[in-house]
Amino acid sequence: MPGFALEPQQREWCEELRALAAERLRPLAEKGEPGRLNRPLVAALGELGLLERLFSSGALDLCLMRESLAHGCTEAETALALQGLGASPVARAGTDAQRARWLPGVREGRLVAGFALSEPGAGSDAAALELGAAPDAGGGWLLSGEKCWISNAPYADFYTVFARTTPGAGARGVTAFLVPADRAGLTGTALDMLSPHPIGALAFDRVHVTPDDVIGTPDRGFRVAMDTLNLFRPSVGAFAVGMAQAALEATLAHTATRTAFGGPLNNLQSVAHQVAEMATRTEAARLLVYAAAAAYDRNEPDVPRSSAMAKLFATETAQYVVDAAVQLHGARALQRGHLLEHLYREVRAPRIYEGATEVQRTIIAKELYAR
């Protein structure tokens, strides 16, 4: 099964991606400003054909890309993922006109997309969002309210925005809109986050949208959001696996050469057992991610459960592996600029975004009891 045994050409492609990430993309990332959109990096992803592949292949390919890029350049991985997250609703549920207008630029890395679902009072409970979409006398709607922790904000060229078109209807009263960044009344600010990702807040002051801006069907936008997250949740796990693998490899090299108490660290049983545990958990997470991606590509009915399991286990595993790697490296891993210092800041966020660990457990339990 493809979820458990990669084909030789897939393994070769992953090795190529690792090399590209380290040799071509990492220098571009290092020239960028942490926490800000790096357009040269996005453009390079387009030139390499990775953004095109993002929209033309399945969930397993997406996971292989995210894992491989994360191993060599987390910033490149994040740029690819945020581009996909913001534009996938348009690719999957948008109109022909919307796709023709925006997706060529996204694939080429000329245009940048953002995914605007979360709000100051609606994070884990996404169905509780309050960004209002009031009917406009001239046709369409007027968007008023705030969005927070939004990918690529405030630098994106357009956003997939989820707004409440029917008050009091919960998830059934949400509509997805394609909102260009230059639309009158839309402003944004950057947020300074622990992880160096381009994340910001958006403010909507009677921003006009028309029926032509609707993605999918009015009042059915929550399904657009969930379909997108079901695709990307396993790949968040792949991002985590890539970081865990990088931390594991650094730890293997360090403990094999660092001497203490008369020999290399790996001669100490406590160290060797710790490394063995790190490797085992990383491999288990990888297999769970691949299995969930393969299930998505086969359109199996239990995708929400398998996606949630993959995201939950892989992100928690990566946190454990990176933390253990820091402990085994000692003080040097705490120094600014060290790989593990960087990974330690990067690894924390995936346990929260696109559904926190606790939300994933709720999804899994709900799916289990529904059976």
Listed in sequence order, the DSSP H helices in the chain are 8-20, 26-31, 39-47, 50-56, 59-72, 74-93, 96-108, 221-257, 269-297, 303-329, 339-346, 357-370
Instruction: Name the residue type at position 3.
Output: G
Is residue 346 part of the annotated active site? The answer reads no
CB atoms within 10 A of CB 226: 14
Instruction: Look at the alpha carbons of 77, 60, 348, 126 in this order and tell me if their dihedral is positive or negative.
Output: positive
* Residues across the chain: 371
Cβ atoms 24, 73 nearer than 8 A: no
> CA 34 to CA 197: how far, in whole Å?
7
- CB burial of 30-59 (b: ≥16 within 10 Å; e: otherwise) equals eebebbebbeebbbbbbebebbbbbbeeeb
Query: Over the Cα atoms of the chain, what is R_g?
Result: 21
Q: Which two tokens stand for residue 183?
A: 């639309």
CB atoms within 10 A of CB 286: 24
> CA 326 to CA 343: how far, in whole Å?
10
- CB burial of 134-164 (b: ≥16 within 10 Å; e: otherwise) equals eeeeeebbbbbbebbbbbbbbbbbbbbbbbb
> CA 6 to CA 71: how far, in whole Å?
18
> CA 91 to CA 123: how far, in whole Å?
24
Q: Which of 12, 354, 358, 367 is catalytic?
A: 354
Catalytic positions: 354
